[in-house]
Chains A and B, each alone.
Chain A
């Protein structure tokens, strides 16, 4: 058995080395991600692979992608250090919990780029969607639609995630501008579709009236739930996930807005890492990508939504599959989800 395992691994290794030998480029980039089986995160991984391939500068990607906690991510990061990668693109499980591992990576001469969420390690570069702005834009639009008063259902992401706490700041900022809007219910979906749907169904069942729903990206199942239970179609704010964008275009009587939160930020992370490796350091440690809001109330907004809709994508994937100036791959490349040497 042991021999078998040895030969098996050796064979896999041989296959991989043969594969990488054919690819162009010189850098090895490590990736660490701790949420598996989530559409947004899958798009992020695919964007990383596609950008690495499109850049032509990456020889090999080393992806540690599993469901784990901060301690497990530290383990993965240290394994990537052992693998002697040139840069690590990391979507942190916790901003502070992986600080020690990231510091070790920097000490080993590895460029660290955190995508999607911030980290506390000062030597790491951060490229992230502006999460506070994401929440502020959507919440402000929603409260305007509600006429500046009424009850809102506030469906957050995962407790303790820095993206969630940043969004909470933005949401609270908008809430402060509309004193007559009350939060009727606050839940954590954990960014899980089934969980979010169950929560809204439970809430509808209580019969307490509500005038709007703000979601942290678990959106299309919320519309499904409203339609299925024949509840009043209140305005819904979500992210630019393909399924939700499709619903905004097609569901009769649904008012809503999608705020962009591109999963392709992963690709931008690769671009930033490559720029740093080649000596072009950004002016600031943190680079923010500003979100856009597409609504289906005005004609202008409708046109934007029409243009963005892409039924060929998985409903959980954001339709903004590229970020101008930061990603260079084609749609085919990201959908194929193949990295260098694959």
Chain B
């Protein structure tokens, strides 16, 4: 099976070939093109160039139904049962034979499924198992599993891996996407590694191969990152600073399980995580838009409980989302957008003091060097300038803590630099910044420390000196910090698998 894809260069030149009876891992850093490839293989989006061959025969895959006919069936990260139909109707919808489905469900460790229950009423973990059983029941040639075990409790996950393994023995193929090396080494035969939309290597899974995979995922970046290391002098200057926010054993939903860290005054702390490791929930909890299910958040030594984003704003915590359209009123002017939080949240419907507002806004614009030629409508600004506006509004209200969630996504390099500079300036003024980024090299460009989250937990906190891309990548995949000596890690991690909660 081979495929090329042009357009916005999400995929440039990617090929993936899977042998019969093989479990094949598909790997790559965030944004390498994994999800695009999966979408193409399952017919969710169309490719511009290239072909899909199943057992040597070319197939046109233009919809999920086409993919199914070609023998490609996938299980997605989110459950894809129709929530308002019962299980039986869901099977009828996809024309899945019921008896094999029932057998697979039992096999997968769910003995007491009531087929007349609405999918909505089935627990999330079980829904994923049902998704898998539904896929297995139609006996696909190629089964595509996207982060299948992510939301599963350990006993179910084990069963699932077991079933997948056996599936491959019947001569069918499995494409397995996972961030967990432990699972990959236990299950997969080979791995294809993607980087920047290209296939950079196909490796056999054998002990010690993780290092090779990490190298492939990063490519030449390893050397480059070392060169870009920032001087540590600036960072260490804040050693004596007070603690602004203390997070202890924070839990949010099922994704964020146990997170503790401190955020100091005058510090930029980076957060590093693969997609979906609980970072969204962490930021939402700190910004007051989600209620934590356990643990505590302290601000300036006092425990707080946010029930609404306004509470967080009152505590001096400002949230800058990655998706700028979430934060900005696109048709309004720059001035109005900057003035929005303090006229809305702090004045409580009272009259807006025009003169004062104008002065504050003007100083914020100047400090940020926002290009104001197009200030009548925010939507006409460039992405970088839009992002500056979202940050500026919080400077205007003098927020002491700024939560930046991937603020540089899709922004040109020059503006990125300005945003790093801005974050450093804010820190120098004693403000504290929590900065999640999906681009690992930004940690060393802007941060003092890196907090690495994996599987909903803080797995490491790295000082900036050693937080280069390879180290962060390793940590983000849950590998131990000094894993240079490849031999033995697998044995070590494999043995700890049973102890996983």
Answer whether A and B touch in the complex at a CB cut-off of 8 Å. Answer: no
> CB within 8 Å of B: which residues of A?
none
> CB within 8 Å of A: which residues of B?
none
